[in-house]
A and B are shown apart, each in its own frame.
Chain A
């Protein structure tokens, strides 16, 4: 019993696309941890997963492509649950996905170009620092403001905020979201998330959710479900394009991460139900900032080795 447990704890598995041998239990554990956090905060967790994989020595191309594939798997059950509860605005989701598909095509082209230039590693890191840094900062500031406002005035409730996004043409009525806005902002949001999804190997929920709340002014009830719809569609597209164009999707890696990920997400989700909206957002913002800071440190400090070797393309 103890021997078989020890064997399992040191089970090495060969990743056929990454062409390396890794500790299977470690990957399942990483999947579980990220899944737990994603269940807790209701986001895909790809923004944590890809940097951790790179940290473990998985090549950036494989980490990004397989991270997107794992995010797809991790989001499917969430989308199904939200759809059952009627929390998905399919109409708004369709517009976001349309933008997202174009964005992912553009993003994978950019990724392939960066790979040819030998700058994938640094580019992925810079993308992470910029995107996570600004999003994390916004989230923390906004939720701190919301918490202090609530302390002073109690729960202030408004349908949504009117922003510049409401003044553009091509207005459409989105019944479920109780919005009458132009399709340009959701298309643009979808496109940007698509690009980021392709380059960073994330679902983009951590950006999509605040964008839907602050830019589109969607009601919080449908935000999670609708963002999951966009995440599932766009990560499927990114998986497809990465596999065909770059060849970095490692199905063995994906399935090991998912094995831990789905279990962790269930535990996280049951804990997440006890957290309030603003507190959740403040915590998530802090986590996002921490990931950004560690990646920035890796870019700034003197690298342990100035040289790197790779196969010539």
Chain B
């Protein structure tokens, strides 16, 4: 009864946000279809998970996006039952962390550390905090939790750089650890809203959904989505990086024309 009420409230809450509502209804449709076809297949799977979209478009109106990670399990979820962990990773990339030092009273960039290969995006969430769900060693091996991201760097030797990278990534929401717990509805349905800030990089993103039973991962679903620039944002970026000379000339002409046209429109007297 309470579970049904929970689902009802979840639906009602979502209905106020049109986009999320649409996603959620779509997700439910998917789930119902999955549940109906379930008994037909020979081996009912322990875990079914999907994403609300497999393509995130960076347009000139892009302000970040939420992706719904949802699914169902065979066994009931929640305290005493199964648990779910969602792990999302973006493409890897090199980063430089710089530390400011005081030179003659001025704060300038001083020593720096280069991190060769770290995820540009990383998010982890669970029905409960993952470190409560898995033994420490298993958690580290599967790369669950920000502290399990390997952070090898070259350059200045100081432990502060590693901590600074984590802090800066977390504050820009490009690395997230338990932003909000995975919601359980109807004891076998789960959903988690994965938030991508507007600074996400284009590339291939992997989403791993893991089913945990008795402190062991018993089933895994590998999902993924692509973040790509589309529309005029993509065109501008493509021309700027591919044909910089043409882009430069276009910028000069566009600015000159806009300045002239604007002064004609706004001329007073």
Chain A residues with a Cβ under 8 A of chain B:
12-14, 16-17, 19-21, 69-70, 72-78, 80-81, 118-119, 121-122, 126, 232, 236, 239-244, 247, 249, 251-252, 254-255, 258-259, 261-263, 265-267, 270, 299-303, 305-313
* B112 CB contacts on chain A under 8 angstroms: 118
Question: Using an 8 Å CB-CB cutoff, how does the interface string of B226-269 with A read, 1 for contact, 0 for none?
Answer: 00010011101100110011011111101110111011111111
Interface residues on B, range: 35 or more
Docked-complex contact A19 and B199, CB < 8 angstroms: yes
Specify the chain A residue showing the minimal Cβ separation from B237: A16
A17/B240 contact (C-beta < 8 A), A76-B260, A266-B266, A270-B269 known: yes
Q: Which residue of A lies closest to B164 (CB)?
A: A307
13 A-B contacts, Cβ less than 8 Å apart? Answer: A12-B198, A21-B199, A73-B258, A74-B259, A119-B108, A243-B251, A244-B248, A252-B236, A267-B268, A308-B168, A310-B95, A311-B95, A312-B93
Task: Tell whether B63 is near chain A: CB-to-CB under 8 Å.
Answer: yes
Contacts of B31 in A (CB 8 A): none
- Answer whether A12 and B61 are a contact pair too, CB < 8 Å, given A72-B259, A266-B266: yes
Question: Given the known A-B contacts A76-B259, A244-B245, A254-B254, are A17 and B237 also in contact in the complex, defined by CB atoms under 8 Å?
Answer: yes
Query: Given A249-B247, A307-B99, A21–B198 Cβ distance below 8 Å?
Result: yes
Contact B236 A16 (CB under 8 A): yes
A308 & B259 in contact (Cβ 8 Å cutoff): no
Q: With an 8 A cutoff between CB atoms, is B161 at the interface? A: yes
C-alpha spacing A57/B168, complex, angstroms: 14
Asked whether B93 lies within 8 Å of A243 as measured between CB atoms, the reply is: no
Contact of A300 (CB < 8 Å), options: B105, B229, B266: B105
Chain B residues packing against A (C-beta within 8 Å): 58-64, 93-100, 105-109, 112, 114-115, 160-161, 164-165, 167-169, 198-199, 201, 229, 232-234, 236-237, 240-241, 244-245, 247-252, 254-256, 258-260, 262-269
Chain A residues within an 8 Å CB radius of B249:
240
Residues on A with C-beta less than 8 A from B169 are 309
Chain A, interface SS category = helix
Q: CB distance B160 to A307 under 8 Å? A: yes
Would A254 and B100 count as touching, CB distance under 8 A?
A: no
Q: Is the CB of B258 within 8 A of A302?
A: no
Give the chain B neighbours of A75 by CB distance below 8 A: 259
Give Cα distance in the complex from A161 to B90, angstroms.
65
User: How far, in whole Å, are A248 and B179 apart by their CA atoms in the complex?
Assistant: 33
Q: Is the CB of A77 within 8 A of B259?
A: yes
Inter-chain contacts of B199 with A (CB < 8 A): 19-21
Count how many pairs of residues, one from A and one from B, have CB atoms less than 8 Å apart in the complex: 192
Residues of A within 8 Å of B244, CB to CB, are: 243-244, 247
A12 to B108, CA, bound (A): 32
11 more contacts with CB within 8 A, not counting A70-B255, A254-B254, are: A14-B62, A14-B63, A14-B198, A76-B256, A77-B263, A236-B256, A242-B248, A262-B259, A299-B107, A303-B100, A308-B100
Complex Cα–Cα for A80 and B96 (A): 46
**A252 and B265 alpha carbons, distance in the complex (Å):** 20
A residues less than 8 Å from B248 (CB atoms): 239-244, 249
Q: Give the docked Cα–Cα distance between A118 and B260 (Å).
A: 37
Cα A266 to Cα B236 in complex, Å, equals 30
Contact A311 B262 (CB under 8 A): no
Chain A hits for B268, CB < 8 A: 266-267, 270
Q: Is there an interface contact between B161 and A307, defined as CB atoms closer than 8 Å?
A: yes
Q: CB-CB < 8 A to B100: which residues of A? A: 303, 306-308
Contact between B266 and A262 (Cβ–Cβ < 8 Å)?
A: yes
The minimal Cβ–Cβ distance linking B204 to chain A, given in whole angstroms, is 17
Closest Cβ of chain A: how far from B269's Cβ, in Å?
Answer: 7
Contacts of B260 in A (CB 8 A): 76-77, 80
**Contact between B258 and A255, CB atoms less than 8 A apart:** yes
Cβ contacts under 8 Å, A299 to chain B: 106-107
* Given A16-B60, A255-B258: A310 touches B237 (CB 8 Å cut-off): no
Please report the C-alpha to C-alpha distance between residue A52 and residue B62 in the assembled complex, in whole angstroms. Answer: 23
B240 touches A243 (CB 8 A): yes
How far, in whole Å, are A270 and B266 apart by their CA atoms in the complex?
12
Residue of B nearest to A21 (CB): B198
Closest-by-CB residue of A relative to B241 is A247
Residue of A nearest to B62 (CB): A14
